[in-house]
């Protein structure tokens, strides 16, 4: 067979990575191989010949004469690099699939009609940093693949990024900017689907690349492309267990799951034990220590399933294997399973400690950042400067047909029972699903993080997981029992089975009795929380892992919040059972069981009530310790958190927004950091002993104003409303009175002026702030800052009691259709998921400052069970499935939302300014 000579340019000047002193990349040529070396073996024709058509990466097409028995070469791989190969379209009964040519199998055995088939040269494996490829020619081929992906709409990016990529492509092809040449080139070459819209922007950016060589342009293209989420992604349509349409993809780090173009999960190679397929079902088995062992996805056909499986095996081998696996000897009579083996010579792109020769994938010690387990991926990291304000709307893409969704929901309403008890029982089920996911944050995700970096001492590991693992296992069984009972109650599972299944009391009684056995475990949570905090302060590695883990999307609340969930869950059972007992008449067949179950759980809850109050206070103090800069030992014994919120403090520059924190012994005031760490810097610390509060609105001519007199300092502050001012004054006076009566009051510390509040000082604090870790923006302190309101410890306790989960239909103010979402309410916030099986929320909506009401006539909402959420111009409509669930959502949201408005006047009309300027 003759040589395949691609019509690619040959660059004269070797390219180097910009700014690098040497190139530490990976060679893509075999020893002794030249750029124009043979790409396909069998250059001499023996027997029958065949002509095939090949399309290069530059879209040129050429014909080549080959032998009918020829294969792709191993010593001289196609197009000098094993990351590139030929693909073609095969026509199946139900669809058309893109298939890669196997290197060791004759082409005639893979393609039915080679003469009529267009073979397309493409990049098959996408390394994480293609700019490190050593050969300039290979980098050029990769840049051509990026060009093709851009035009075909696979490399999804913003229009500005697309224009930037196009400008480098223009520079690479025609050199420095020339207005006429640019316009002619862009008219003759299509680089973007929306090219006409951004043509002037492309030319503007091209003007900035003066003097850039083609090799440098290729490097810039790869640098930009590799940072995009859709870099190298090739979708394989599938469906999950719920029937939701998704797309599977495979990358260098593992398998990815997309819904639309949003990545919702990643299965890292190091956590996958086995990949397999059975007919149309694609199966992923994880290592046993991850608790959730297996996942399955349904594809359109067996052929599609097998093709994707083969690609997974090839990707794993290419990026994870160092040596060539030895082929297995063939069975004489019978064979079992697939005989497919990946036999390319593997480039050493990543370190590995094992050899894999089958779909059985061995674990590897990944050294990548936080590649821990399913849905841990780099995209989950919140980058500094990119944290959205809590005021931003959580935008999720519309899913499916709105008309079909309406029909399905109406059908469900007609099919489901209408008894209120059913919906109360369903609330137990839905909240149990969320609770189990919350436990997995500790038992699965955090465990993986500390094990990966060997960050936690063995004694603390035993203390933590020996207490929470049995609880988690118990609730796994409890959830399964709840799910089965609700299925029978609805008649959607084993409907032919006769029995009295329209009740929940027997299930609750049985499990509440069993839960009593875990009281000793729950009583140790105090010790667990305390020891974890001590170890985090003592061990730098554990502190780093802890902080990095809190930045992951799966950890959607402060980490130690999840450790309180088992005790808080008892309170939820108690409240729900009280609701059931109130609903049932004494003669109802389910009443007695519910009453007994309530008695059992109330007994446990009473024993742990004081412990819960202490733990919630400790959790809040440790959370604030991490978020505040300039205060040490915030978790001192005896200190209690009372209120946090935003007030405007009178300074030399007028009223300045400050964040205040009231404790049982002191009042702190802070300012928002000037960097992207999202932390607050302490500027003042006022002891409560001897403090006096005085309303002073008339004196200062500022609305909702009051004065705080401490031992050596007097400050004037203004609240956002009269209601807010009342809350602060009431809590301050109460705290001052308690501090005065307390025998442990601190007399030794007057106010410490920690930092002057001038603009120069604020900017000078940048260095110290940057040393801190970036923090999420939907914690209560940040929401209070943005919404100009406050939250007390009693508000936190009430919010714990009012947690809720379930499916809701959501509609934006100006949209037509409804979108079905799994919604979790906790910590004054709504968290939105596609389904209840998702590991982390896709968006959140903090509720402080929102009002909740029923739609008005002008809203034109003609549906039942709809409530309206509004904060200024942000308006959302949510639709529940029943009157009971509608009332429950209204109830819990009212408990979190505040009706107080912002200040109507923030600038004082006159009056003396503060002398100290702090």
Which pLDDT band holds residue 411 (cuts at 50, 70, 90)? low
Q: Residue range 777-784: average pLDDT?
A: 75
Q: Are 122 and 58 in contact (CB under 8 A)?
A: no
pLDDT at 535 (0 to 100):
93
The pLDDT value recorded for residue 785 is 82
Are the CB atoms for 897 and 847 separated by under 8 Å? yes
Give the pLDDT mean for 60-87. 60
Chain centroid, CA 24 distance in Å: 33
* pLDDT for the residue 437: 95
pLDDT greater than 50 at residue 8: no
pLDDT for 110 equals: 79
Lowest mean pLDDT among 263-267, 276-280, 584-588, 721-725: 263-267
Q: Return the pLDDT at 223.
A: 87
Please tell me the predicted confidence (pLDDT) of residue 732.
94
What does the pLDDT average to over 12-17? 29
Q: What residues pair up with 851 in beta bridges, in sequence order?
A: 870
Burial of 820 (C-beta count, 10 Å sphere; 0-12/13-18/19+): middle
pLDDT score for 739: 87
45-59, 86-100, 526-540: segment of lowest average pLDDT: 86-100
pLDDT at res. 905: 32
Contacting residues for 333 by C-beta, under 8 A, at least 6 apart: none
Least confident of 4-8, 257-261, 859-863: 4-8
Mean pLDDT, rounded, for 295-302:
90
Sequence-ordered list of residues with C-beta below 8 angstroms from that of 471, at least 6 positions apart, any chain: 439, 518, 521, 522, 566
Residue-wise pLDDT tens digits, 201-236: 999 999 989 888 898 899 889 989 988 888 989 999
CA distances from 347 to 195, 225, 315, 323, 841 (A): 37, 22, 12, 9, 37
Answer yes or no: are the C-beta atoms of 797 and 616 closer than 8 Å. yes
Q: Which range in 377-381, 428-432, 738-742, 869-873 is most confidently predicted, on average pLDDT?
A: 428-432
Query: Is residue 896 within a helix (H) or strand (E), and if so which, with residue range?
Result: helix 883-896
d(CA 227, CA 229): 6
Question: What does the angle CA 750 – CA 754 – CA 757 come to, to the nearest 5 degrees?
Answer: 125
Q: Which domains does the chain have, with CATH numbers?
A: 49-125 (3.10.20.90), 235-320 (2.30.29.30), 438-627 (1.20.900.10), 636-744 (2.30.29.30), 803-897 (2.30.29.30)
Is the sign of the CA dihedral 45, 48, 51, 52 positive or negative?
Answer: negative
pLDDT, the chain, mean? 76
> Who's near 836: CB < 8 A, 6+ residues apart?
430, 433, 434, 437, 805, 807, 822
pTM: 0.56
Is residue 744 pLDDT above 80, yes or no?
no
User: Which residue's entry shows tokens 């006076």?
Assistant: 733
Question: What percentage of the chain carries pLDDT values higher than 90?
Answer: 32
């Amino acid at each position: 067979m003759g040589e395949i000579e691609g019509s690619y340019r040959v660059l004269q000047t070797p390219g180097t990575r910009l700014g690098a002193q040497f190139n530490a990349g990976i060679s893509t040529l075999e020893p002794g191989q030249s750029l124009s070396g043979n790409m396909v073996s069998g250059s001499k024709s023996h027997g029958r010949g065949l002509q095939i058509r090949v399309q290069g990466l530059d879209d040129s097409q050429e014909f080549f004469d080959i032998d009918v028995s020829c294969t792709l070469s191993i010593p001289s791989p196609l197009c000098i690099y094993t990351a590139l190969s030929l693909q073609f379209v095969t026509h199946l009964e139900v669809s058309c699939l893109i298939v890669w040519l196997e290197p060791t199998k004759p082409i005639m055995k893979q393609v039915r009609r080679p003469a009529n088939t267009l073979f397309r040269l493409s990049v098959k494996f996408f390394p994480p940093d293609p700019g490190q490829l050593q050969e300039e020619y290979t980098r050029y081929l990769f840049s051509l693949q990026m060009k093709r992906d851009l035009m075909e709409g696979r490399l999804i990016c913003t229009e500005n990024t697309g224009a930037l990529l196009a400008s480098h492509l223009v520079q690479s092809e025609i050199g420095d900017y020339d207005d006429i040449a640019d316009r002619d080139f862009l008219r003759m070459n299509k680089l973007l689907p929306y090219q006409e819209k951004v043509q002037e922007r492309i030319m503007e950016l091209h003007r900035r690349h003066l003097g850039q060589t083609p090799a440098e342009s290729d490097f810039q293209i790869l640098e930009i492309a590799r940072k995009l989420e859709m870099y190298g992604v090739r979708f394989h349509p599938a469906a999950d267990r719920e029937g939701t349409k998704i797309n599977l993809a495979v990358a260098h780090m593992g398998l990815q799951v997309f819904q639309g173009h949003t990545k919702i999960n990643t299965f890292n190679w190091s956590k996958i034990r086995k990949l397999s397929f059975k007919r149309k079902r694609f199966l992923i088995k994880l290592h046993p220590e991850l608790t959730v062992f297996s996942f399955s996805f349904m594809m359109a056909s067996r052929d599609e399933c097998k093709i994707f499986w083969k690609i997974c095996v090839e990707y794993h081998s290419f990026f994870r294997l160092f040596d060539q696996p030895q082929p297995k000897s063939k069975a004489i009579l019978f064979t079992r399973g697939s005989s497919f083996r990946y036999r390319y010579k593997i480039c050493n792109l990543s370190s590995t400690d094992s050899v894999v020769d089958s779909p059985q994938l061995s674990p590897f010690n990944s050294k990548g950042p936080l590649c821990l387990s399913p849905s841990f991926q780099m995209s989950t990291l919140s980058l500094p400067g990119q944290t959205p304000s809590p005021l931003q709307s959580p935008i999720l893409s519309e899913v499916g047909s709105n008309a079909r969704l309406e029909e399905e929901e109406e059908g469900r309403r007609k099919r489901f029972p209408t008894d209120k008890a059913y919906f109360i029982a369903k609330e137990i089920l839905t909240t149990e699903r969320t609770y189990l996911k919350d436990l997995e944050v500790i038992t699965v995700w955090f465990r993986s993080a500390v094990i990966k970096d060997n960050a936690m001492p063995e004694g603390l590991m035993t203390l933590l997981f020996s207490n929470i693992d049995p609880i988690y296992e118990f609730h796994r069984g409890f959830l399964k029992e709840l799910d089965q009972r609700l299925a029978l109650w609805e008649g959607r599972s084993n409907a032919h089975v006769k029995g009295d299944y329209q009740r929940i009391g027997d299930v609750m009684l049985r499990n509440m009795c069993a839960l009593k056995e875990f009281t000793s475990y729950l009583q140790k949570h105090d010790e667990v929380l305390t020891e974890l905090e001590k170890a985090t302060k003592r061990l730098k590695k554990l502190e780093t892992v802890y902080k990095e883990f809190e930045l992951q999307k799966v950890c959607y609340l402060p980490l130690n919040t999840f450790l309180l969930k088992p005790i808080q869950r008892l309170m939820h059972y108690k409240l729900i059972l009280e609701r059931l007992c109130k609903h049932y008449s004494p003669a109802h067949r389910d009443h007695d069981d519910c009453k007994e179950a309530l008695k059992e759980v109330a007994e446990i809850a009473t024993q742990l009530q004081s412990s819960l109050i202490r733990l919630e206070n400790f959790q809040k103090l440790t959370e604030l310790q991490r978020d505040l800069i300039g205060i040490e030992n915030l978790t001192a014994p005896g200190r209690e958190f009372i209120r946090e919120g935003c007030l405007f403090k009178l300074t030399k520059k007028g009223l300045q927004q400050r964040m205040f924190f009231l404790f049982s012994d002191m009042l702190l005031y802070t300012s928002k950091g000037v960097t992207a760490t999202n932390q607050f810097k302490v500027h003042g610390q006022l002891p409560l002993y001897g403090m006096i509060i005085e309303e002073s609105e008339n004196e200062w001519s500022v609305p909702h104003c009051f004065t705080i007199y401490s031992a050596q300092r007097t400050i004037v502050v203004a609240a956002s409303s009269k209601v807010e001012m009342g809350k602060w004054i009431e809590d301050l006076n109460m705290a001052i009175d308690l501090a005065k009566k307390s025998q442990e009051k601190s007399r030794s510390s007057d106010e410490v002026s920690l930092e002057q509040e001038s603009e120069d000082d604020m900017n000078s604090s940048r260095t110290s702030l940057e040393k801190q870790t970036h923090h999420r923006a939907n914690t209560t302190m940040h929401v209070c800052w943005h919404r100009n309101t406050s939250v007390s410890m009693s508000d936190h306790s009430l919010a714990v009691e009012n947690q809720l989960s379930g499916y809701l239909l959501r509609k934006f103010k100006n949209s037509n259709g409804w979108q079905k979402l799994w919604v979790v309410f906790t910590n004054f916030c709504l968290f939105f998921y596609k389904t209840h099986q998702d590991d982390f929320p896709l968006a959140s909506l903090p509720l402080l400052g929102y009002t909740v009401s029923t739609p008005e006539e002008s809203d034109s909402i003609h549906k039942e069970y709809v409530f309206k959420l509004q904060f200024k111009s942000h308006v959302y409509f949510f639709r529940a499935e029943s009157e009971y669930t509608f009332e429950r959502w209204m109830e819990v949201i009212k408990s979190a939302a505040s009706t107080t408005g912002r200040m109507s006047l923030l600038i004082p009309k006159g009056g003396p300014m503060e002398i100290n300027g702090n």
